[in-house]
Structures are given as C-alpha cells and as structure tokens.
Structure 1
Amino acid sequence: MFSGFYLSACAGLFDAPPTVNLVEKRKTLGEFYFEPVSLNHDPLPDEGLENLRDAYVNLLDIIDDPETIKIVQYRLADLEVLLAERQQEVGVAPVDRGFYDLAIAQYQSILDRHPEQKENAEVLYQLAKAYDLQGQSQQSLQVIDTLLAKYPDTIYLAELEFRRGEILFNVQDYPGAVQAYQAVLEQGPNTDYFMTAAYMLGWSHFKIESYENALLAFTQLLDQKLPNSVIDSQMLRQLNAEQQLALLPVGEKRIVNDSIRIMALLFSYQGAEQSLKAFYENVGERHYENLLYDRLGQQFLNEDRFRDSALVYRGFTEVHPEHNQAPTFAVKQIDAYIIGKFPTFVLPAKQDFVDRYGINGPFWSHWGQLIQQDVKPYLRTYIQELAQYEHSKAQLLTKAANQPNEEQLEKVEENHQKAQVAYAQAAKLYREFIETFPHDDLTPQITFNLAESLFEAQRYQQAIEAYEIYAYQYLNEPRAAEAGYAAILAFRALRETLTDSTLQQQWQDEQLASQQQFVSRFSADPRAIDVLYDTMQQQFELKRYLLAIESAESILAWQPTVDAQRKMSGQLVIAHSEFALQQYQRAEASYEQILAALEQTDPRYNDMLERLAASIYKQAEDNLAKQYVALAIEDFLRVIAKAPSSSIRVNAQYDAASYLLEMRSWTEAISLLEDFRVRFASHPLTESIQDKLIFAYQQNQDWLPAAEELKQLWETNPDSEEGREALYIAAQYYLKAQSRDAALDTYRTYAHRYPLPFNEVTEARFQMSEFYLQSNEESKRRFWLRKLIQGDAQAGADRTDRSRYLAAMSSIVFAEDDVQAFNRVKLSLPLNKSLKKKREVLDKALASLNATLEYKIAEFSTVANFKIGEIYGQLARDLMDSERPTGLSTLELEQYDILLEEQAYPFEEQAIGIHEANIQRSWQGVYDRWVRESFAALSELLPGRYNKQEQVSEAANAIF
C-alpha cells in the first residue's frame, strides 16, 4: 500500500536514495466501517475477491434497507481497492481504464449518495489514496484539500499533509511543500511521517535556497533518528552517534546519511567549520555533531581541499575537545596535513594532539579504557616522533652554540637557550611516553633517551633518576653500564651547581650509593675499578671509615690485580681509617705493612713512620684510660723502639718517664729523663724535666744530684719564689748527702739572701749554728744564734713556737756564757772591790737567764732556773770562801765570818727558793736533767729536807 507515494519527489536530486515504503499497512475502509456490526473483520483471502465483489454487486440489487446498502457499498469499495492493488502488483492492467477507476467510482458514489455522513472523512481519505495510487496527483491533492477543510481534526492529518507536501514538491511548489511538511512536523515526532517530512522539509528549503531553515529541518530529522536520552552535557558528548546510526534500518540509515551529506554541503556553502560551529552555538550542541564534521572534512578531502579538511577536523576538536571522537578527528586533521603535504603543520598538530589527549592532558582521566586504548597507538607514534625531533634539534643547536660558524657567532647564546628549551621539551615527551607505555618494548630505550636529554638540559637530578632506571630496572639492556656511569657523571655535575653544603652532602650520599650499585652490577666494566677507587676516596674524605675500609679491601682483592699506586692507596685508606676508628692495634699492623713496602727514601716513609708511632701512642692512651699504666708504659717504650726518629717519640719518652715516676720506678724514670734532657735539649718539654728529675732523685734518695738540680734551678732564677725554695731544699739535700761544705755554703747563701719567709730563714740560721757547733767554731756559731734571737724578736705576727724555741735555745747559750763569766770572777781583797765586780757579772748573768725564762720554754726554763739558783748558791759559797783579811784576831775573824754569813745567807735562801720553784715543775710533768740537778742542789742546801734516805720496813720486804 502507498508504494512510491512520497519519496519520488527527490528522484534525480543529489544522488537521492532509492524509494522505500516506510508507512505501515493500514486497515481498509471496509474493515473500518464494518467494525460496529458483528462481522468477521479478518483480512479477506486473495482467492475469490472478484467473486466476492460480484456478490456484493448483486446484493445491491436485492436489498432495500438504506443502511445496509451503505455498508455494502463501503465493503464493495474496499474490495475494488484490494483488487486494484493486486492487479497493480502483478502488472495486469484493466482494459480501457485505470487500476483504481472502479474503486474511485465506488468512493465517489458513496459521497454522492451520503454527502453528510460522518464516515465521509474516511471515504475521502480512501478516495485520495486511490487517486494517488492511480497516479492522479492533482485529483488526490484536491480530495485531500477538501478532506482537510471539512475535517481539520482528522486522525489522518499528518499523513494527508505529508501527501500534500509530496505532491507539491513534485510539482516544484516548494513554498507549498514547506508549509505541508511543516504541518506534519507540528504533529510531533511520534507520527510515522515525521522523519520523512523533516527530510523533505529540508529539501524543500534547500530548493528555495533557505539554507538555514534547511539545516534546522534536517536537524529535526537527526534529533528524532539519533535521539539523546541523556541530560548531562558530559554524558551527551560521549554518546556514540555512529552506533546509533548503524542500528537504524537500512532505509532510515540512508535518509540520515543523506541528510548529513546535504547538511555538510550546506555548511561548506556558508564557511565550512565556522558556520557549523556557529549553527550549533545557535541551536544548541548535539551529540552527533561529529558526524557532520566528519562528513564535511571527508568532502573537502575528496575534493583535494586538504587544508580545509584539516581545519574542519580541528574545528570539531576545538569546539568539543573532550568528545570521545575528538582524538580521532585530531588524527584525521594530521592525516589531512600529511596527505596534502603541509609538513610545517604536521608537527604542531601532533604536539597539540599529545598535549590534549595524552596521559597528562585534561581528558585522559575522564575516558574509559576503550577510548584510551584507541588513542594509545597514535600517542605512541606521535610522542616518539616529537621527542626525537626535539632531541635532534637540541643537539644541532648545541653544536651551533659550541662550534659556531661565522654566521652563528652572534647567536651563540640564543642557540644555547633554544637548545635548553628543546632538550627540556624532548625530556617532557620522553617522560610522557614512559608514563603512557610503561611496559612497551621501546620504553627502556626511551628512558635512556630521556636521561640523555635531561643531562644535556642540565637537569641533572632528573637525569640521574632516568639513567638509574635504565641501568638497574631493565634487564639485559645493551647500554645499561653506560647509563649507570652517566648517572655518576650527572651526580658530579649536579654537585658542582650546588652552594648549600647540606644539599651537597645529601647528593654526595646519593652519588656514593649509585657508585656502589654500579660496581656491584657492572664489575666487569673497565670503569668499575675507577668508580670503586673514587668511592673509597670519597668515603674516606667523609670520615665514613668502615665503608672506606670495605671499599679499600675490595680494591686490594680486585681481579685483575690493581696497579701498585692504587694498591698503596687502598692500604693507606685502611690504615688511616683504622686509626680514625681508634682501632690502633690494627692501624699499627697496617702501617708496619706499608713501611715494609716503602723505601726509606720514599717521601711518604717518614709520614708513615709518624703514623705508626701515633697508632702505638694511641694504644698507650687507651691503656691509660683503662688505668693499665704498666701496659701504657710498654706502649710508650715501643714507640721509642719502633719509631725512634718520629716526632711522637718525644712525647712517648716524656710520658713513659712520667708514668714510670707514678709507678715509683725511679731508676728507669731517671734514665729516660736524663736521656730526654740531653737528646731533646731544645724541646719545650725539657723545661719540665728538671722538676721531674728532682722528684725522682728525691724519691730515690739520690740527695746529691737532687741538690745539684735544685741549685741549678736557683741559679737560673734566684729572685723567684721557685728559686728560693729550690735553694732551701738544695741545702737540705746537701745535708742529707753529707756534703757538709755544699750544705754550709747553701744554707749560708740562703740565710743571707732570703730573710723571708721567716720559718725557712730561721731554720737556715739554726743549721748554720749547728754546723759551727760541730766544727767548734763557737764565735761563728754565736753569730747565727744571735740571728735566731734577733729574728724571733723582730718576727712580730710571724713569730712561731719554733722560732721561740730556737731563740730560747740560743739565749741559754749566751746565758751560760754569762754564767761562766760570773764563775770566773773570784772574790778577793779588798772584798768590796771584787764583790762589786762579782755583782756586775751576776747581774748580767741573771739578766741573760731571765731573758731565757721570758721565752717560757720548759726545756730551757729549767736550765735557767737551775743556773739562777746555782748563781745565788755560788755567790753564797764564794762569799763564805772569800779571802780573809790578814791581821784579824780570832774574834775579829769570827765576827768577820759571821758578817760574811749574814751576807751569804740571803743568797743561799734565794738559791733554795729558786731550786724549789724549779723542782715544782715536776708536778706539771716536767722532770728533766735540770729539775734533777735542782733536787741535788737542795739536798746539799737543805739536807734535812731533801737528803733523807727512804726506809723500807722488814715486813714490807718480807712480801718479796
């Protein structure tokens, strides 16, 4: 039904698609009008239609009921239509009439007989259809116009307007067709005629050159056949219009494709991609815009308008950069430039593709894996090409900057800067390739290229990372060792750029780790031993001695064997590191090994000898810290034995002597000290040797050398307190050494030169008095005794018990001298003269003895008291024993004796009193010789009291 009804209008225009019937088969009028009655409405069978028609014709002749007649006529008209369709299908035309003449006649008859029936709308519809099937378009149009005028609300409104449009379009009444098609569209997209009406509306506008309206009409068609059920704009862009188009029936797909083709043509008329962009900015974006851009781009490409094609594809990517088809369009843009041979546009377009759609672009993370997988092959190619281009450009610019020709001399700095930019861009691209394709076969090589570009761009930190990834994370790469070594060079270059010491240290640590990794991984590489050697030196300089020893040992064990210089360096590092780690025994052994390998003429020999001595000396210090003094002394002596010419030998010998003193090994200490003073006479430590020797001599009771040292010390600085003390002690040591003359001379010098301190000069004066006592040089002795008395008298606050004692001792000597003088004076006649003289010496002796008593020293007070008593007793005796005058009578002589007794008696009494006072000291515990002498004197002076013999009774003796 309706074959060729509405698409024939486009025949011959722009390769219009073949005619298709998209309208579903409907019920006939007879079927429709017989529904109210209880008739069978199933479609009539093909066989017997003519018989059935003839039966209905015959039935009209025999029925009279108007209603029944009307129904039969409707049924008869439908049968005529069915018969006409069958005849039209088989191509058998009726004789002298059209296929649908009978049907038209029947419908016209119904209208004539029943002009006011409400069912006439259906009759008019069938009549218009019959005219159309008959090919009588104008008659069909008239019937349609009548139907629409009389029944504007008919259910066939959309279909009828569509038929009107078809007829008007075929007769080239395009404005009329526009109105008719527009009326169809106004019925809404659910009508069966919407798509075709929109399509024909577009064509109608196209015919009258109303391009904008044509685009709007085609847009309505696309909106219906490629519907959008997503509201969110982001999801809208991801709808796959191609899939929607592919799922359409063949006929609809052709109409949609043709609509897209015509729209593309229209956009090309109006400015290509700019008009396309402006159109959708006006009507709102559509998810199928990519179909139009693609069709327009392909159209230009077919016309060899390559740049225009590229601009169209680029236009879409600019309008919809996040669309899932944007990468494909970008690729088509690039291909258009390549096909059109526009090389200057190709690389920028590829770079733009990478920037937009690469893994670091704004859209990658929003795409699913399927889209990413579609994009990756292009990224792989483009990134690699761009990176290689930038890298090559950078190398050329570097060469131009480093080796400029005459034309490039003025652009050296500019070329250098451009090279750095190119290196940086190459590195960026290499890095993006690695990030995008971490497991690609090319990724290791790309990683190496990245490292190279970063190094050349002086981005050393990043270059190191890339080199080490290539060297140590990828297996069996041919340039792994080269990359590992390049990383070390990059570390060195990086550290040269740093001024902050903390950062330098941090990166040196990283460098050392990299070097150790290189040696471990690439030990067969000829550069490995150089790296290990450098590692050892750096570790030693950083005072990482354990690591330095480990590296040095590796060098010594290296195969093939390293040269002598490096071997010696390794041994030196081991020895020095052991010393720094306080492993002094190991260091001693290492230094001895080094010395054994060196000639004594080698400039390093003396230094190693010093190191050997220091390692032994440090062992001594450790032993001292542990209070192992004896072991420390042995270590000091080993320094002297193993390194006698070393500078440390001085300290070792000095310390050995000092600690021998502590150990009271006086003889050994003295030997070392005496040798030290001779061997190192000009050394500052020699200044203290004298003190140590003096101490050693003292402790060893070598008094004479001790005294000599002290005397020398005094002679060096006699005005100092130290010199004074040295002289005083020297005198004592001379005395102990029984060197009387030296002691006498030294004490004399001291006593005359140093009146202070008082105690020391007092002792010196006393010793002088003793010397002269021993030599019986009484006058010289009394000189120094007098000094003792004077010194004590003048001491004031400095006076001591000792000075008082010595003064008392000296005083008694002078008192005894006076007593002796008293005793030598004899009483003779004339008595008065001799008595006077006796009295004078008595007073002097008493004064001297009383002076002794003033010191209140018991030892000498008893002497003085006794001497005083003796003086008085002696005076009494001398009086009684004095010479008598001659010529006296017996009486006179008797009277003279009585007179003498009277004169002597008081003296005797005084003598008794003084002796008694003296013996009373025994009551306080003082019972010395002079107390006993006073007892003896009293036994003679008062024998009745003091000369009684103790009587012991026999009974008492009996008990024994």
Structure 2
Amino acid sequence: MNSRVVIITLALSLLFLHGCATKKGTLASLDDSGIVIEKNAPIDSARQKAADNYASFINSAPKDSLRVEALRRLADLELEKSEERFQQQLSKLDSEKKTISVAKEAEIKQSSYETAIKLYEDAAKASLGEVNDPQIYYQLSKAYEQAGQPEKALDALNRLLARFPNIDNRDEVHFRRGELLFSLNKFKDADRAYTQAMVVNPSSAFYEKALSKKGWSAYKLGEYDRSLHSFFTIVDRKLRTSGGEVDIEGEHLSRGDKELLNDVFRVITLSFNELGGADAINNYFDNNGERVYVSRVYRNLGDHYLEQRRIRDAASTFKAFVKRYPDDIYAPDFDMYRIKAFSRGGFPSLLIEAKIEFVDRYQVNGDYWNKQNEMTQAKLSPVLEQNMEEVARHFHAVAQKSKKPEDYVQATSWYKMFIKSFGIVGVYRAGENIGW
C-alpha cells in the first residue's frame, strides 16, 4: 500500500473516530503525596490503533506535505486523548482519596498535553518549507491553552499571523489573541487585538464579541468614556429590529442576545457610577446624541444605587431623568421611583416633598397633563389621585396636631384641589378624611 492510500485510509478512520472522545472523571480535592504522573494512561483501543498507524507512516514517510499532514492528524488525535488522560488521572487519584494542590494539578495537566504539543511543534517545524497549513498553529495554540499555558498559546497565534497574515479567519485569530491577552491582564494589548478582529470584517460573527470585550478592556483600564462607546454601539445594534425600528425592551432578541444585552447594560451602569452618576449620563448624551432607550439607562443606575442602599443617590438619579425629560411619557414613573425610594429609606420629610412635587407637576389640566393623550392620562390618574389624597391627609394631620388656623387653611386648599380634580370621587374621599 503506497503512502497516499495510507493517508486516505487514516483520514477516513479519523473522521469516524472524531466524535468518540468523552471527558471522564471529576476534579476532586486530592493529596500530592505518592502521586505518579502517568503520561500514557490507556485510551480507546480503536483510536489508539489509528494513532499507531499514523506514527508508523510518519517514521517511513519522506519529508513532504503528506508527512506534515500525518503529523497534524496524529497531533489532533493526541489532543483529544490529552484531556481524557488528564481526567482519568484525576479520577484515579479521586478514587484513591488523595488530594492535590493547584500546582500539582497544573503539572499533571501540562504533562497530559505534552505529547500533542510536541507533535504540533514538529508539524510546524516540518511545514516551514513549501507546506501551507495554518491549522497546525491554530491547533498548537489550542493545545497550549488547554494545557494551562496561555503565553505559549498566544505565541502560537502570533506565529500563525506572522506566516499567514492574510488568513481567511484572521478575525477569529485576532479575537482569540484578545481573549488570551485579556486573561493575562494585558488589557491594552487585548484592546488592540479586539480592534484588529473588528477591522477584518464588520459582518463577522466575532465582531460583536470583540466589540464587547474591547469595551471591557477599556473598563479594566479605567477608560470609562471609551468603554461606554463600545457598549452603546452594541446596544444600538441589538435593539434595532430587522425592520429598522428600535425595540426598547428587546423582545425580538434571542435568549443569548438578551443575556448579552443585560450584561452590557450592567457594565454601562458601573461605568456611569465610576464617572459620577446621573450627571455623567447627562454629559454623555449631550456629547454623543440621545438614545430612545435612555430611560433604561437612568433606571438601571437608580436601581443600582437602591441595591447599595444609597437612597439619596437613587432619588437624585430618578429626578435627573425628570428634569432632563419633563414631558416624557415615563416622567411620572420616575417621580414615583423617587417617592418609593424615600419611602423605602425612611425619609418622611423628603417623601412628602416628593409627593407635593408630583402633584404640582402632573395635576389635572396642568402643563404635563394637557400634553398627554387620553391613554396616558388614564394611566396617570389613579397615581395622581393617590398622591394628592396622601398630601391632603398629611396637612390635615399637621393641622389637627398644631390647631393653627393657617395649617387648616393649607389642608383645606389641598382637599379643594382633590375635589376639583376628581369630582364626586374627590368629594367622597375628602369627606371620609374630614369626617363628614
């Protein structure tokens, strides 16, 4: 049988066996004492036979493209076996009730991948002539990464790009470089790698992933304004439907995209917090243009402050939205968020002030009320009624306690407004409170 037939036969065997790998064992807490690192733990016999056939061919083959191909395929088999070998050794140690340190586990892992890495390195060296197989370097990088050696994994990708600068999937290669650099806390270099991935092809499947991690790199560097540019670009892309409309809630998105969007909004909130809060949001949109989903940005920051029990900061954020967008359909909601924040935080004086402001701003036949359609007015009416009654009852209680005529006058004026705004309902409710 000639060399080409052997290669074809082995290739078919590899295709059949490719899906057979399974990851066995558990990562238990084990002991270093008495541990022997087994470099050749037994693996599936059929696949081992295929590997033996490749090895036999390599030993007898001339130094040409077929030998390089055989080396790479043998390395691919060894890479599959490496993780199994690693898991089997951990499983064995676990069954023996031994514990190991993190350093010892790393040593076992590197040893498990040693053969695959050597084969890829041999294939890379053998391919330096006329053989063009970038997959060798890609797989070599993968092997180093799985072996817990990110610096060498990065070097393999750099070697790939040095030899094949115009490789078709260089967007993916640059993205992987960025991921390795990010894991090494080299955020400036990671930022550049993600940018290179984006430049290759704006329609690439890696574009938005690179854009997101570029934003995270800037965030890690403390360059929050620059990180926001990346993150808002993602939000703009994701919330725009195929018809060109903007779906503020992202109902059209897949589950994965919704999770991505939630993560992006979370880091947007963290960035604005670092930049100073609501004023930073105002400044950003002043300089970079408005967004139709701006209410979500203010709401997220306010809720973030509430989670941290920063009640005044939360209330200030909600108020900032109303001040900037006084006629917005969501303005009453934000004033109610502010009222609920003061109630939750136990600030009675600030709470009644916020309720008075709510009634003044949204009163029936006031400026805001008259600008809204009937649907918005119908939604606002019960909330306005509730706050107006609570303000009237507050001043009534103050008057009953102080017995001062001027306090009764103030309470009466609020009840009159209540009756004027809500007619017979106002009369009935006012009568209940006064004791008619």
TM-score by length of 1: 0.35
Structure 1 partner of 2:255: 248
Q: Is the 8 A contact 1:300 1:308 kept in 2?
A: yes
Paired residue secondary structure (2:284): helix
Q: Distance in 1 between matches of 2:328 and 2:89?
A: 53
- Aligned residue runs from structure 1 range 647-658, under 5 A: none
Q: 1:103 to 1:327 in 2, by over 3 A?
A: farther
Q: 1:186 to 1:66 in 2, by over 3 A?
A: closer
The higher relative CO (CA closer than 8 Å, separation ≥ 6) is in 2
Question: Which one of the candidate residues 239, 245, 262 is aligned to 2:248?
Answer: 239
TM-score by length of 2: 0.70
Q: Distance in 2 between matches of 1:71 and 1:41?
A: 14
Q: Is the 8 A contact 2:187 2:218 kept in 1?
A: yes
Q: 1:362 to 1:82 in 2, by over 3 A?
A: farther
Deviations 1:365-394 (A, max 9, x none): 27579xx65x66533421322344577889
The alpha carbon displacement at 1:282 in A equals 2.2
Deviations 1:29-59 (A, max 9, x none): xxxx98xx99994663425222221122223
Structure 2 partner of 1:347: 352
- Aligned residue runs from structure 1 range 313-352, under 5 A: 313-321=318-326, 325-352=330-357
The alpha carbon displacement at 1:139 in A equals 1.7
Q: Is the 8 A contact 1:53 1:76 kept in 2?
A: yes
What letter corresponds to residue 227 of structure 1 in structure 2? L
The alpha carbon displacement at 1:448 in A equals 6.1
Question: Which one of the candidate residues 125, 128, 137 is aligned to 2:150?
Answer: 137
The alpha carbon displacement at 1:130 in A equals 1.6
Q: Distance in 2 between matches of 1:65 and 1:173?
A: 39
Q: Distance in 2 between matches of 1:329 and 1:443?
A: 25
Q: 1:231 to 1:398 in 2, by over 3 A?
A: farther
Structure 1 partner of 2:126: 113
Q: Distance in 1 between matches of 2:321 and 2:211?
A: 25
Structure 1 partner of 2:18: 44
Structure 2 partner of 1:573: none
The higher radius of gyration belongs to 1
Deviations 1:605-662 (A, max 9, x none): xxxxxxxxxxxxxxxxxxxxxxxxxxxxxxxxxxxxxxxxxxxxxxxxxxxxxxxxxx
Q: Is the 8 A contact 1:297 1:312 kept in 2?
A: yes
Paired residue secondary structure (1:317): helix
Paired residue secondary structure (2:165): coil
The alpha carbon displacement at 1:97 in A equals 6.1
Matched, 1:270 2:275: yes
Paired residue secondary structure (1:75): helix
Q: Distance in 2 between matches of 1:284 and 1:362?
A: 28
Q: 1:45 to 1:377 in 2, by over 3 A?
A: same
Q: Is the 8 A contact 1:206 1:214 kept in 2?
A: yes
What letter corresponds to residue 445 of structure 1 in structure 2? Y
Q: Distance in 1 between matches of 2:180 and 2:322?
A: 43
Structure 2 partner of 1:76: 74
Q: 1:54 to 1:343 in 2, by over 3 A?
A: same
Paired residue secondary structure (1:98): helix
Q: Distance in 2 between matches of 1:308 and 1:316?
A: 13
Structure 1 gap segments, 5+ residues each: 1-32, 402-414, 453-477, 480-960
The alpha carbon displacement at 1:220 in A equals 3.5
The alpha carbon displacement at 1:274 in A equals 0.8
Question: Which one of the candidate residues 52, 55, 79 is aligned to 1:54?
Answer: 52
Structure 1 partner of 2:83: 85
Q: Distance in 2 between matches of 1:182 and 1:217?
A: 11
Q: Distance in 2 between matches of 1:302 and 1:354?
A: 27
Question: Which one of the candidate residues 365, 373, 397 is aligned to 1:365?
Answer: 373
The alpha carbon displacement at 1:196 in A equals 4.5
Paired residue secondary structure (1:120): coil
What letter corresponds to residue 255 of structure 2 in structure 1? L
The alpha carbon displacement at 1:176 in A equals 1.3
Q: Distance in 1 between matches of 2:163 and 2:64?
A: 24
Number of residue pairs aligned between Structure 1 and Structure 2: 386
The alpha carbon displacement at 1:310 in A equals 0.5
What letter corresponds to residue 265 of structure 1 in structure 2? L
Q: Is the 8 A contact 1:103 1:130 kept in 2?
A: yes
Q: 1:64 to 1:258 in 2, by over 3 A?
A: closer
Q: Is the 8 A contact 2:72 2:123 kept in 1?
A: yes
- Aligned residue runs from structure 1 range 407-446, under 5 A: 426-434=415-423, 445-446=428-429
Q: Distance in 1 between matches of 2:160 and 2:62?
A: 30
Deviations 1:251-288 (A, max 9, x none): x73x6555444433332333311111211232233344
Q: 1:96 to 1:399 in 2, by over 3 A?
A: closer
What letter corresponds to residue 137 of structure 1 in structure 2? P
The alpha carbon displacement at 1:115 in A equals 1.9
Q: 1:69 to 1:262 in 2, by over 3 A?
A: closer
Q: Distance in 1 between matches of 2:266 and 2:172?
A: 26
Q: 1:147 to 1:91 in 2, by over 3 A?
A: same
Paired residue secondary structure (1:311): helix
Structure 2 partner of 1:182: 195
Q: Distance in 1 between matches of 2:121 and 2:179?
A: 23
- Aligned residue runs from structure 1 range 523-602, under 5 A: none
Paired residue secondary structure (1:135): coil
Q: 1:69 to 1:300 in 2, by over 3 A?
A: closer
Q: 1:161 to 1:307 in 2, by over 3 A?
A: same
Q: 1:91 to 1:248 in 2, by over 3 A?
A: farther
The alpha carbon displacement at 1:423 in A equals 5.6
Structure 2 partner of 1:281: 286
Q: Is the 8 A contact 2:419 2:427 kept in 1?
A: no
Deviations 1:830-859 (A, max 9, x none): xxxxxxxxxxxxxxxxxxxxxxxxxxxxxx
Paired residue secondary structure (1:44): helix
Q: Is the 8 A contact 1:198 1:217 kept in 2?
A: yes
What letter corresponds to residue 306 of structure 2 in structure 1? L
Structure 2 partner of 1:632: none
Paired residue secondary structure (2:239): coil
Deviations 1:698-725 (A, max 9, x none): xxxxxxxxxxxxxxxxxxxxxxxxxxxx
What letter corresponds to residue 103 of structure 1 in structure 2? A
Q: 1:145 to 1:70 in 2, by over 3 A?
A: closer
Deviations 1:168-210 (A, max 9, x none): 3333332212212232344566544445534433332233322
Q: 1:86 to 1:354 in 2, by over 3 A?
A: farther
Matched, 1:158 2:171: yes
Q: Distance in 2 between matches of 1:164 and 1:65?
A: 31
Q: 1:170 to 1:358 in 2, by over 3 A?
A: same
